[in-house]
């Protein structure tokens, strides 16, 4: 029997016996639905964390020299006390790092704090994320200006009281107005707005549109306290192959400045997207594992149901099998017919599961902060699982049908 004819007969059986087919499919459908939903949520979170978080917050091919990691999980109190005893990162450290970096490497001094903002149109509101930074921070973080301009090296050298603000700041403190050229006060220090950043959204609940960035040597470094302790020194490699060598170069500079012996550990930290996301990668591994193991239990149940239904089908169609054999059907034709029917049942269930799984993941994304991104490979996996379960579950019933004696089968009622 041709494979397409076997598929047609299998689909015809599903149409004729709708209720039985429904109970046959439900186990595979539910299992594949949860598999697709879990993978979509994990994939969406992975894309959000690894692309949006790493790109917007840490930068691409970028590492930060800091006193201790800004992003960390499950650290002991002893570790925190050890970090707090470390020397602070100073402006002199940052300048020494810059001197050691090869041509083509981007570098920025950076300090940050929460501060109060105000304008003549809005005397107060939520705190703003105030940053003092040298100009290259804009290119390192790929910050795009939609209005005005960024400040220049000349503005930096002069310590000009200019500031670039986020879109949320522009909307809140300058309602229905062009903020360019207007005064914005940060902790009562006046700055002139020269640029507005492109809307960036949020990262882990932190609105990146509430940030303001001013020249490092302006009054902003008094607001952030950068003269006493830098938030970090940002270094961006020109390409991924130079990332590790640059990190080792900066490590050597800092160890020499700190007079550390070879046996002594670093008393500073490097933070990159790889190090910051190491905890997430572990969580992701367990989520994917759970997302596959739990539906697998349902697939086992579904396979048992399919096998039982197919055994019943063989018993009900014994006479049909006998007639087909007497007309010349070979054993492999009967085997193929029931295997294809079993696989078709399971694949149809998997397709319904994929559709429901995509719908469930989109619904979760709509009503919660969890993002969703359907991975094409998960759809292929769902269909493959459906076919595999069907073939595995139908192997025994199909083999039993193919071994029936045609004469005895034709006598069956």
Task: State the burial class of residue 154 (Cβ atoms within 10 Å of its Cβ: 0-12, 13-18, 19+).
Answer: exposed
- pLDDT of residue 313 exceeding 60: yes
Confidence of residue 403 (pLDDT cuts 50, 70, 90): low
- pLDDT of residue 285 exceeding 70: yes
- pLDDT of residue 410 exceeding 60: no
Which pLDDT value is given to residue 141? 87
Buried-state track 229-240, b at ≥16 Cβ within 10 A, e below 16: ebbbbbbbbeee
User: Highest mean pLDDT: which of 79-83, 134-138, 329-333?
Assistant: 134-138
Which pLDDT value is given to residue 119? 94
381 with 353: CB under 8 angstroms?
no
Per residue in 337-392, pLDDT (tens digit) is: 777 777 777 787 888 888 888 888 888 777 766 677 777 777 887 788 777 777 77
Q: How big is the CA angle at 173 (ends 170 and 178), to the nearest 5 degrees?
A: 50
CA distance 380 to 360: 18
394 contacts: CB under 8 Å, gap ≥ 6: 306, 307, 310, 338, 339, 341, 342, 343
Per residue in 67-101, pLDDT (tens digit) is: 888 765 567 788 888 888 899 999 999 999 999 99
Confidence of residue 279 (pLDDT cuts 50, 70, 90): low
User: Highest mean pLDDT: which of 32-41, 254-263, 383-392?
Assistant: 254-263
Task: Give the CA count within 13 Å in the CB-facing half-sphere of 375.
Answer: 19
User: Highest mean pLDDT: which of 7-21, 55-69, 184-198?
Assistant: 184-198
CA distance 410 to 282: 60
Return phi, psi of residue 212, to 5°: -130, 140
Confidence of residue 129 (pLDDT cuts 50, 70, 90): very high
250 contacts: CB under 8 Å, gap ≥ 6: 63, 65, 97, 100, 101, 233, 235, 270
Task: Give the CA count within 13 Å in the CB-facing half-sphere of 160.
Answer: 17
Which pLDDT value is given to residue 268? 92
183 with 122: CB under 8 angstroms?
no
Cα→Cα distances 378→28, 44, 343, 351, Å: 15, 13, 19, 12
- pLDDT of residue 194 exceeding 90: yes
Confidence of residue 29 (pLDDT cuts 50, 70, 90): confident
Q: Which of 281, 266, 278, 370 is nearest to 72 (CA)?
A: 278
Mean of the pLDDT values across residues 210-219? 94
Return phi, psi of residue 30, to 5°: -65, -40
At 211, which helix (H) or strand (E)?
Answer: strand 211-215
Task: Give Cα 1 to chain centroid, integer Å.
Answer: 47
The reported pTM is: 0.64
Strands (E) in 82-139, as ranges, are: 106-115, 117-118, 128-133
User: Highest mean pLDDT: which of 38-52, 173-187, 216-230, 347-361?
Assistant: 173-187
At 271, which helix (H) or strand (E)?
Answer: strand 269-272
Q: Among the residues of 48-174, which ranges form H helices?
A: 77-84, 91-100, 137-140, 153-158, 167-173
Output 159 or 342, whichever has higher pLDDT: 159
Beta strands 145-148 and 189-197, pairing class? antiparallel
CA distance 23 to 30: 11
Output 261 or 42, whichever has higher pLDDT: 261
Which pLDDT value is given to residue 71? 65
Q: Which of 284, 351, 341 is nearest to 310 (CA)?
A: 341
63 with 271: CB under 8 angstroms?
yes
151 with 240: CB under 8 angstroms?
no
Lowest mean pLDDT among 28-37, 229-238, 284-293, 354-363: 284-293
The structure tokens 């439900």 sit at 26
CA distance 200 to 185: 22
Which pLDDT value is given to residue 49? 66
Q: How much is the mean pLDDT over the chain?
A: 81
Beta strands 183-186 and 202-203, pairing class? unpaired
């Amino acid at each position: 029997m041709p494979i397409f004819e076997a598929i047609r007969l299998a689909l015809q059986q599903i149409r004729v016996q709708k209720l039985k087919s429904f109970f046959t499919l439900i186990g595979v459908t539910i299992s594949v639905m949860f598999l697709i939903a879990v993978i979509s949520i994990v994939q969406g979170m992975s894309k959000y964390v690894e692309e949006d978080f790493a790109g917007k917050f840490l930068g691409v091919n970028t590492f930060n020299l800091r006193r201790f990691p800004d992003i960390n999980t499950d650290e002991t109190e002893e570790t925190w006390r050890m970090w707090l005893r470390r020397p602070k990162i100073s402006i002199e450290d940052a300048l020494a790092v810059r001197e050691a970096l090869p041509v083509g490497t981007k570098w920025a001094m950076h300090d940050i704090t929460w501060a109060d903002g105000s304008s003549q149109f809005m005397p107060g509101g939520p705190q703003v994320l105030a940053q003092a930074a040298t100009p290259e921070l804009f290119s390192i973080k790929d910050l795009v200006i939609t209005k005005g301009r960024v400040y220049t090296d000349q503005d930096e050298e002069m310590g000009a009281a200019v500031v670039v603000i986020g879109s949320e700041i522009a909307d809140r403190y300058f309602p229905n107005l062009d903020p360019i050229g207007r005064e914005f006060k940060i902790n009562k220090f006046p700055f002139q707005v020269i640029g507005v950043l492109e809307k960036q959204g949020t990262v882990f609940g932190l609105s990146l549109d509430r940030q303001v960035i001013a020249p490092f040597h302006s009054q902003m470094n008094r607001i952030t306290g950068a003269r006493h302790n830098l938030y970090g020194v940002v270094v961006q490699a020109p390409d991924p192959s130079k990332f590790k060598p640059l990190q080792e170069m900066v490590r050597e500079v800092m160890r020499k400045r700190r007079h550390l012996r070879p046996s002594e550990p670093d008393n500073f930290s490097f933070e990159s997207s790889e190090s910051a996301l190491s905890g997430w990668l572990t969580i992701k591994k367990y989520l994917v594992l759970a997302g596959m193991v739990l539906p697998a239990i349902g697939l086992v149940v579904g396979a048992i149901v399919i096998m039982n239904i197919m055994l019943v089908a063989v018993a009900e169609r014994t006479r049909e099998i006998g007639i087909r054999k007497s007309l010349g059907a070979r054993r492999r034709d009967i085997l193929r017919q029931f295997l294809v029917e079993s696989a078709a049942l399971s694949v149809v269930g998997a397709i319904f599961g994929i559709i429901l799984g995509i719908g469930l993941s989109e619904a979760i994304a709509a009503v919660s902060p969890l993002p969703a991104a359907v991975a094409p490979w998960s759809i292929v996996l769902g269909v493959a699982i459906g076919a595999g379960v069907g073939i595995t579950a139908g192997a025994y019933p199909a083999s039993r049908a193919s071994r029936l004696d045609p004469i005895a089968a034709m006598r069956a009622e």
